[in-house]
């Protein structure tokens, strides 16, 4: 900071007694230079391009003003900054009015800015706007070509500098959220003249790996599959981030076979790479958080689905059990149905016997009435028919199932009531029912034998 000439005692040098140079105290020399600047230049107006602009939590603004021949540090305190009619940003060409001074703690020359106004766009910013307009007209920024990020990537590709703080931030975020997902790092320069070519080369390597891991015939034993790519770099001035405003890099980004996330700089920084990527992240850490949902979220979702599945299966089992109970109630015991059918069969057999006997009685009565008047030939014919009828009645009685069952035989059926007539229908262990003359017995086959 400067001091006025009203403080001569504080800057008076020690006067030597010989011809040697005067010896100054460092602070005193800085104050003397500040006073000279105050008297010679201030107030001063200067034009240049902003770079490294930052606003502190206190409201003070700090940046560097530069042109092709030089640069100077600038400070704009909160009171002056609050009067700004626009938001300064790197690359803008501005005109400043203020006071030159010396910041004694570092011995730096600095300009204390009292006012600032735009003086047209800076050369770099104008170049940025021209390239942005060109690529936008070609459709490289179109929303239609942007792809959604995969919900569960099998692998993540990463392009950044191995010595950058952004790499540490990304690795920490990924280890915290998805430690099970492999990450393939391809290092590249992220600043300087060779950075654009290095970034393009690194991305091209990742593209080959990503393409090799796609499709049903991909050999995943050689390399982990890559379903999303991150291009990241920490914050910096416009010069620091200028590599990400390269036209060839922009065209390389849009050729990515998988979704690509760009996390370059801080939240207020925008580059051409941001517009070309499928998704822009405000910071490298945010890029890592966007490509990887926390493992706990998926485990929670799986637990929820498992609970819903278990409840659904339980409901189905309960419904099936209820239907089985209802069917069992309607069906009853199969042995009861068999007994009912046997009872009906016995009733029908009884009715048939009664009908035959009634017919025989009628024929016998008719025969007795006609015997006196019929010739011998007719009587003989009737006798033959009587014998045939009696034999038929005897055979019919022999066919009565109960007579067969009373002789020690049994009617074998399966549990569904189907008649079992062959040992091939009764493998070992099968349950059968044997109907006897006076009831039903449930049996189980031990070892069938063929006769």
**Sign of the dihedral defined by the CA atoms of residues 319, 322, 328, 330, in that order:** negative
Q: Using the 8-state DSSP alphabet, how is residue 270 labeled?
A: -
Write down the pLDDT at residue 167.
92
Give the pTM.
0.49
Spatial CB neighbours of 153, under 8 Å, sequence gap ≥ 6: 181, 226, 227, 228, 291, 292
- C-alpha–C-alpha distance, residues 41 and 110, integer Å: 13
- C-alpha–C-alpha distance, residues 246 and 249, integer Å: 5
Q: Using the 8-state DSSP alphabet, how is residue 419 labeled?
A: B
Give the phi and the psi of residue 424 in degrees, each rounded to 5. Answer: -70, -15
Write down the pLDDT at residue 1.
38
Query: For residues 191 and 166, is the Cβ–Cβ distance under 8 A?
Result: no
The strand pair at 156-160 and 183-187 is best described as parallel
Omega before residue 43 within 30° of 0, cis: yes
Give 406-409's long-range contacts (Cβ < 8 A, gap of 24+).
Answer: 406/437
Query: For residues 203 and 251, is the Cβ–Cβ distance under 8 A?
Result: no
Spatial CB neighbours of 342, under 8 Å, sequence gap ≥ 6: 401, 435
Write down the pLDDT at residue 121.
58
Q: Using the 8-state DSSP alphabet, how is residue 326 labeled?
A: H
Cα of 252 vs its chain's centroid, Å: 27
Cβ atoms within 10 Å of 346's Cβ, excluding its own: 13
Q: Is residue 271 exposed (0-12), middle (13-18) or buried (19+ Cβ within 10 Å)?
A: buried
| Partners of residue 112 on adjacent β-strands | 75, 99
> Concatenated DSSP letters for 237-264?
-HHHHGGGG-HHHHHHHTT-SS-EEEEE
Number of helical (H) and strand (E) elements in the chain, helices listed first: 13, 13
- C-alpha–C-alpha distance, residues 382 and 376, integer Å: 10
156-160 sheet: strands from edge to edge: 183-187, 156-160, 228-233, 260-264, 279-280
Write down the pLDDT at residue 6.
36
Cβ atoms within 10 Å of 164's Cβ, excluding its own: 17
- Measuring CA to CA, which residue among 96, 82, 100 is closest to residue 49? 96
Each residue's pLDDT, cut to its tens digit, for the chain (451 residues) gives: 333 333 334 444 454 555 677 777 777 777 777 777 776 777 888 999 999 999 999 999 999 999 888 899 999 999 999 988 888 888 888 999 998 887 777 778 888 899 998 876 567 778 888 999 999 999 999 999 999 999 889 999 999 999 888 899 999 999 988 888 899 999 999 998 899 999 999 999 999 999 887 766 656 666 778 999 999 998 887 778 899 999 999 999 999 999 999 999 887 778 999 999 999 999 999 999 999 877 666 667 677 788 788 888 888 887 887 888 777 776 666 666 677 778 888 888 888 888 888 888 887 777 676 665 656 776 777 788 888 888 887 777 777 777 777 777 888 888 888 888 788 877 888 888 888 878 888 888 887 777 6
Write down the pLDDT at residue 146.
94
Helices (H), 143-283: 165-177, 195-212, 238-241, 247-253, 272-276
- C-alpha–C-alpha distance, residues 174 and 152, integer Å: 13
In terms of phi and psi (left: phi > 0; alpha: psi -120 to 50; beta: otherwise), the region of 31 is alpha
| Partners of residue 65 on adjacent β-strands | 50, 72
């Amino acid at each position: 900071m400067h001091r006025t000439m009203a403080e001569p005692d504080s800057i008076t040098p020690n006067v030597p007694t010989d011809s040697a140079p005067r010896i100054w105290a460092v602070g005193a020399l800085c104050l003397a230079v500040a006073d000279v600047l105050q008297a010679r230049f201030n107030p001063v107006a200067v034009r240049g391009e902003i770079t490294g602009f930052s606003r502190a939590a206190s409201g003070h603004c700090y940046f560097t003003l530069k042109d092709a021949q030089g640069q100077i540090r600038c400070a704009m305190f909160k009171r002056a900054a609050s009067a700004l009619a626009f938001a300064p940003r790197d690359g803008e060409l501005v005109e400043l009015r203020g006071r030159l001074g010396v910041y004694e703690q570092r011995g730096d020359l600095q300009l204390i800015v009292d006012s600032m106004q735009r003086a047209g766009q800076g050369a770099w910013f104008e170049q940025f706007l021209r390239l942005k307009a060109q690529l936008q007209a070609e459709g490289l920024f179109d929303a239609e070509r942007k792809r959604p990020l995969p919900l569960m990537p099998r692998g993540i590709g990463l392009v950044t500098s191995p010595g950058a703080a952004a790499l540490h931030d990304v690795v920490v975020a990924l280890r915290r959220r998805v430690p099970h997902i492999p990450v393939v790092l391809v290092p590249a320069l992220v600043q300087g003249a060779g950075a654009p070519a290095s970034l393009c080369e690194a991305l091209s390597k990742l593209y080959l790996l990503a393409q090799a891991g796609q499709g049903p015939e991909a050999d995943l034993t050689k390399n982990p599959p890559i379903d999303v790519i991150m291009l990241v770099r920490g914050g910096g001035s416009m010069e620091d981030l200028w590599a990400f405003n390269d036209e060839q890099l922009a065209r390389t980004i849009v050729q990515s076979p998988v979704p690509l996330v760009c996390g370059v700089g801080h939240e207020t920084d925008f580059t051409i790479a941001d517009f070309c990527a499928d998704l822009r992240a405000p910071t490298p850490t945010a890029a890592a958080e966007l490509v990887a949902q926390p493992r706990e979220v998926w485990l929670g979702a799986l637990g929820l689905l498992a609970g819903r599945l278990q409840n659904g299966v339980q409901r189905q089992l309960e419904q099936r059990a209820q239907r089985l109970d209802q069917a069992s109630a309607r069906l009853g015991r199969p042995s009861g149905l068999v007994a009912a059918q046997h009872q009906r069969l016995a009733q029908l057999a009884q009715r048939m016997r009664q009908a035959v006997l009634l017919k025989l009685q009628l024929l016998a009565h008719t025969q007795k009435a006609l015997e006196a008047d019929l010739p011998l030939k007719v009587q003989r014919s009737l006798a033959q028919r009587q014998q045939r009828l009696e034999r038929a009645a005897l055979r019919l009685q022999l066919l009565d199932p109960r007579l067969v069952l009373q002789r020690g035989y049994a009617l074998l059926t399966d549990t569904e009531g189907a008649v079992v007539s062959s040992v091939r229908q009764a493998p070992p262990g099968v349950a059968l029912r044997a109907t006897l003359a006076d009831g039903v017995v449930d049996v189980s086959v031990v070892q069938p034998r063929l006769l």
